[in-house]
Amino acid sequence: MGLAMVVLMYSCGENPSSMSDLRSFDLKGLADGQVTTLSQGGYRIQKISQLGPSQDKTEYRPDSSGWKRELDILRNADISKPGLRPYYSYTNYDSVDLIVEHYALTDTGQSDVIYQKVYHHKNSGLLWKIEVLQQVNNPIYNSSRIIQAIFREEDNQQMLLDSLKVKGFQHMIISDTTFYQTTCKILK
């Protein structure tokens, strides 16, 4: 009985403790910081949206609540919650110019974020790009989207959102598949 308890404690404690140390990139915190910077800096947004064959182009200057709505897509893709840590694996690799942090979902059904990749410039360590794949599969609809956020360096090595692109599809059980794409460019 004592040996069985030790084996049970060891097997239950081994996997979660190693994965609970995983610290993913804080997209929610990044989005909140960008909302403040973009709204205080008076930045504008140029948005091109395409839903199926129709396309719409707009340009406007959001206030802080408008920027919050625009960046909610990043906030919703955040995997830095402690309850999600056991369900993601982490690898990092580098190329000539970039270091990539790759978080991959290991247990489907625990999150709709399949992966999150964070790209940093190798020399400076500054953030360059974030890419997220989200998928939802349920009895009513299936959807998939890739989110790409590109950053540029502003004064004092502060990284500012340069563009945000969302591309994906949604298939409702009783209708056709709808493809969409939105590209937002941040302008001064």
Residue 122 lies in a domain: yes
Does the residue 49 lie in any domain? yes
Domain count, the chain: 1
pLDDT at 87 (0 to 100): 92
Domain assignment present for 159: yes
**58 occurs within a structural domain:** yes
In one-letter notation, the amino acid at residue 99 is I
140 belongs to a structural domain: yes
DSSP calls for the chain: -HHHHHHHHHHHHHHHHHHTT-----HHHHHHHHHHHHHHTT-EEEEEEEETTEEEEEEE---HHHHHHHHHHHHHT----GGGGGGEEEEEEE-SSEEEEEEEESSTTS-SEEEEEEEEETTT--EEEEEEEEEEE-SSEEEEEEEEEEEEE-GGG-EEEEEEEEEEEEEETTS-EEEEEEEEEEE-
Domain membership of residue 14 (yes or no) is: no
Q: What is the pLDDT of residue 16?
A: 32
65 in a structural domain: yes
C-alpha closest to that of 152 among 121, 175, 180: 121
**Alpha-carbon dihedral 133, 137, 143, 147, rounded to 10 degrees:** -20
> How distant, in Å, are the alpha carbons of 48, 79, 98, 132 from that of 118?
24, 12, 10, 9
Enclosing domain of residue 149: 24-187
pTM: 0.83
Residue 103, domain member (yes or no)? yes
pLDDT, one tens digit per residue, over 133-160 is 999 988 889 999 999 999 998 877 678 9
Q: Which residues of the chain fall short of a pLDDT of 70?
A: 1-23, 157
Percent above pLDDT 70 for the chain: 87
